[in-house]
């Protein structure tokens, strides 16, 4: 291992390399609180593609594993350290290289923070759609690594839908380009789509060409409160059935409402079992029409009250409230955020399963998430050090994954298999599909040095 560090220092003179214990410790974990991360051998912060390629050439030569890392906000242990591996942090490669108005694309380095890209393109009247709740601190490289979703995916799709092309450094240090600025491009297999969501196990993204859109009109925002979780789930299913296409359709349950309200004293209706945040950015009067249709679905499902944001600041605040749900739950103890999904017609059943499983295992659980995508984040909480509760939460998660699969859903809608959910990949997709994934991995990374122990 020291040979490898020596080789890095002797070959890549400008490479920022951290080897002392405190630095390595600080890059050890991502936001997956329950995942036991390994200790990086060293941490490298390359400044450009050339340095990334140089690192990978030497890593292949010395057979040293490499963990690509963005901002470390992941919730599946994807960028968590691996004992003896080099953690390769892409945050210094943080330039927006181009905003190409003529083709409605931006070319960015992986370390650009999602919110910074949004702000830069907004200044030109444009819109970069993917908006994970972590958008103020997660990187585009990490978003590509996880195929991140967010609050407006229900209308605009996930990160994969916004990525047109990539520059990728392969395990052996070769640099390839996939896709580009073409809206239509079917030359060969879609490698772009293969790399998006591969969690740093197939290659390292060093540049991305992403799709922009004209900025949508300001949002109209509505909150609906429900007496039962089931009623909220039914309203979501009804909106899908009725073809209502809001740009945000988010859910928070009673526990989450109380956690957020305790923290920020917003005066939310704490007697409600659930709330839905519904937004429309349709042009002109179409937005009010859309919200009116959404309101009908909510009241038909039993909503006890429906309120509209009175101005854009209030609407921003309500969105922010939803984004703070996980942090609010973290104030209650160790929080394990799960990420299950189901076809949208089955959201009421998924919500019922979550309630049943949390009660059966006697664990505290708050559920929130992207209900419009059929993607929910049941978040189990226990007191730090309460190992019995932690084990009950672990058992609840396993049952939850099985329940999601039984509903035709998924064990992870947007956070990724990473290290935390690996045993359940086969259960969801089957051995043959996992074998195909492993064959792809072996073709691109024959020595298994890219993010070992993650995904497959
Ligand atoms: C409060 C909170 C809210 C969140 N809300 C959402 C949400 O709404 N939607 C959502 O999808 N996620 C959400 N997340 C999870 C997380 O923010 C996302 O998964 C995000 O995409 C991770 O980005 P990152 O830059 O932090 O990447 P990291 O966590 O550092 O890495 C994520 C994965 O990508 C890989 N990776 C990173 N950079 C590269 C690269 N350049 N090339 C190849 N692979 C790379 C890593 O190896 C790892 O597997 C949330 C997290 C928190 C803490």
Give the pLDDT score at 257: 96
Q: What pLDDT band is residue 298 in, cutting at 50, 70 and 90?
A: very high
Give the pLDDT score at 35: 86
Give the pLDDT score at 253: 97
Q: What pLDDT band is residue 318 in, cutting at 50, 70 and 90?
A: confident
The answer to whether the CB of 35 is under 6 A from ligand 1 is no
Strands (E), 309-418: 334-337, 364-370, 375-382
Nearest alpha carbon, ligand 1 atom 7: 132
Stretch 95-122: mean pLDDT, rounded?
Answer: 98
What lies within 8 Å, CB to CB, of 268 at 6+ separation is: 257, 260, 261, 275, 321
Eight-state DSSP code of residue 241 = H
User: How close is the Cα of 114 to the center of ligand 1, in Å?
Assistant: 11
3-class DSSP assignment, residue 295? helix
Query: By the 8 A CB rule, do 278 and 297 touch?
Result: no
* pTM (2 d.p.): 0.97
User: How close is the Cα of 102 to the center of ligand 1, in Å?
Assistant: 30
Q: What does the alpha-carbon distance between residue 197 and residue 155 come to, in Å, rounded to a whole number?
A: 20
Looking at the CA of residue 140, tell me the nearest atom of ligand 1: 25
Give the pLDDT score at 432: 98
Helix H or strand E encompassing 167:
strand 163-169
Give the pLDDT score at 93: 98
Tell me the pLDDT tens digit for each residue of 346-375: 999 999 999 999 999 999 999 999 999 999
Give the pLDDT score at 230: 94
Bridge-based pairing state of the strands 126-127 and 163-169: unpaired
pLDDT surpassing 90 at residue 1: no
Stretch 220-241: mean pLDDT, rounded?
Answer: 96
Q: What does the alpha-carbon distance between residue 213 and residue 103 come to, in Å, rounded to a whole number?
A: 10
pLDDT surpassing 80 at residue 379: yes
What lies within 8 Å, CB to CB, of 331 at 6+ separation is: 259, 262, 263
Q: What pLDDT band is residue 420 in, cutting at 50, 70 and 90?
A: confident
The answer to whether the CB of 205 is under 6 A from ligand 1 is yes
The answer to whether the CB of 248 is under 6 A from ligand 1 is no
What lies within 8 Å, CB to CB, of 12 at 6+ separation is: 51, 54, 55, 58
CA of 401: how far to CAs of 218, 276, 366, 396, 412, in Å? 37, 24, 16, 9, 9
User: How close is the Cα of 319 to the center of ligand 1, in Å?
Assistant: 20
Give the pLDDT score at 91: 98
Stretch 22-36: mean pLDDT, rounded?
Answer: 93
pLDDT surpassing 90 at residue 266: no
Q: Considering only CA atoms, which of 136, 114, 354 is closest in space to residue 256?
A: 354
The answer to whether the CB of 90 is under 6 A from ligand 1 is yes
Stretch 419-430: mean pLDDT, rounded?
Answer: 94
Nearest alpha carbon, ligand 1 atom 16: 74
User: How close is the Cα of 265 to the center of ligand 1, in Å?
Assistant: 29
Stretch 388-397: mean pLDDT, rounded?
Answer: 97
What lies within 8 Å, CB to CB, of 277 at 6+ separation is: 221, 222, 223, 248, 249, 250, 251, 252, 318, 319, 322
Q: Give the chain's mean pLDDT.
A: 96
Query: By the 8 A CB rule, do 276 and 224 touch?
Result: yes
The answer to whether the CB of 81 is under 6 A from ligand 1 is no
Give the pLDDT score at 261: 94
User: How close is the Cα of 88 to the center of ligand 1, in Å?
Assistant: 14
The answer to whether the CB of 69 is under 6 A from ligand 1 is yes
Stretch 405-417: mean pLDDT, rounded?
Answer: 98
Nearest alpha carbon, ligand 1 atom 21: 143
User: How close is the Cα of 148 to the center of ligand 1, in Å?
Assistant: 7
Tell me the pLDDT tens digit for each residue of 432-452: 999 999 999 999 999 999 999
Q: What pLDDT band is residue 221 in, cutting at 50, 70 and 90?
A: very high
Stretch 27-35: mean pLDDT, rounded?
Answer: 91
Give the pLDDT score at 312: 86
The answer to whether the CB of 240 is under 6 A from ligand 1 is no
With tokens 């593609």, the residue in question is 49
Q: What pLDDT band is residue 231 in, cutting at 50, 70 and 90?
A: very high
Helices (H), 243-324: 254-264, 286-300, 312-323
Stretch 133-141: mean pLDDT, rounded?
Answer: 97
Q: What does the alpha-carbon distance between residue 22 and residue 234 come to, in Å, rounded to a whole number?
A: 50
What lies within 8 Å, CB to CB, of 320 at 6+ separation is: none
User: How close is the Cα of 137 to the center of ligand 1, in Å?
Assistant: 9
User: How close is the Cα of 269 to the center of ligand 1, in Å?
Assistant: 32
Nearest alpha carbon, ligand 1 atom 34: 145
């Amino acid at each position: 291992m020291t040979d490898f560090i020596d080789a890095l220092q002797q070959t890549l003179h400008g490479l920022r390399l951290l080897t002392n214990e405190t630095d390595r410790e600080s890059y050890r974990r991502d936001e997956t609180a329950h995942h036991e991360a390994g200790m990086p051998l060293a941490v490298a912060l390359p400044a450009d593609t050339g340095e990334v390629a140089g690192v990978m050439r030497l890593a292949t030569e010395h057979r040293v594993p490499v963990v690509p890392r963005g901002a470390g906000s992941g919730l599946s242990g994807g960028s968590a350290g691996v004992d003896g591996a080099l953690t390769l942090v892409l945050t210094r490669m943080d330039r927006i290289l181009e905003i190409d108005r003529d083709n409605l694309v931006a070319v960015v380095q992986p370390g650009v923070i999602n919110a910074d890209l949004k702000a830069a393109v907004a200044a030109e009247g444009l819109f970069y759609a993917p908006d994970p709740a972590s958008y103020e601190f997660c990187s585009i490289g990490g978003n590509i690594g996880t195929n991140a979703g967010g609050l407006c995916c229900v209308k605009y799709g996930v990160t994969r839908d916004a990525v047109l092309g990539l520059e990728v450094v392969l395990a052996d240090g070769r640099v390839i380009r996939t896709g580009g600025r073409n809206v239509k491009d079917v030359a060969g297999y879609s490698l772009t789509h293969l790399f998006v969501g591969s969690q740093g196990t197939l290659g390292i993204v060093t540049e991305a060409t992403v799709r922009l859109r004209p900025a949508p009109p300001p949002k109209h925002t509505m909150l609906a409160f429900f007496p039962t979780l089931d009623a909220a789930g039914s309203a979501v299913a009804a909106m899908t059935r009725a073809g209502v296409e809001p740009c945000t359709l988010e859910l928070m349950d009673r526990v989450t409402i109380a956690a957020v309200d305790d923290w920020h004293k917003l005066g939310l209706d704490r007697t409600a079992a659930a709330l839905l945040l519904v937004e429309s950015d349709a042009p002109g009067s179409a937005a009010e029409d859309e919200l009116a249709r959404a309101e009908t679905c909510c009241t038909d499902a039993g909503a006890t009250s429906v309120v509209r944001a009175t101005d854009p600041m209030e609407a921003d605040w309500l969105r922010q409230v939803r984004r703070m749900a996980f942090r609010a739950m973290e104030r209650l103890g160790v929080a394990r955020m799960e990420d299950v999904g189901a076809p949208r017609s089955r959201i009421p059943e998924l919500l019922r399963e979550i309630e049943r499983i949390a009660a059966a295992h006697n664990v505290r659980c708050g559920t929130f998430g992207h209900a419009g995508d059929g993607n929910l984040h049941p978040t189990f909480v226990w007191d730090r050090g309460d190992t019995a509760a932690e084990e009950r939460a672990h058992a609840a998660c396993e049952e939850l994954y099985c329940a999601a699969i039984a509903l035709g859903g998924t064990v992870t809608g947007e956070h990724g298999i990473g290290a935390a959910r690996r045993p359940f990949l086969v259960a969801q997709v089957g051995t043959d599909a996992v074998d195909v994934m492993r064959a792809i991995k072996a073709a691109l990374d024959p020595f298994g040095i890219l993010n070992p122990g993650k995904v497959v």
